[in-house]
Amino acid sequence: MKNYKPYINALRQCAKEHENDITPFAHIRVSDLCRDTANLLEELEQEPVIDKIRSEIQEHINYNKKMNYQGIVAGLLLTLAIIDKYKGEMGDI
């Protein structure tokens, strides 16, 4: 996974430095652009962790299906549904 921290920190610093800039109407504010880009990079950093968690839960589902532990499987499937819901919301940003 790529380390985005230096970029995120630089963008946050840029946002601070330009916070009080006067921006003409209909122009992009540098502080907003820096802040939004830093937020996006933080989300990208987190996504692989969610994928790893989801994959591990899927392994448990497969095992518990073999063992015929339907109650556990149902709970794990609900867990995956919750992860997918929030992962979908991350994509809307």
pLDDT for position 91: 56
pLDDT for position 11: 92
pLDDT tens digits, the chain, 93 residues: what are they? 578 889 899 999 999 999 898 888 777 788 889 999 999 888 877 777 788 888 999 999 999 999 898 889 999 999 999 888 887 766 544
* Alpha carbons 83 and 93: distance in angstroms, whole number: 16
* Alpha carbons 6 and 90: distance in angstroms, whole number: 22
Cβ(8)–Cβ(38) under 8 Å?
A: yes
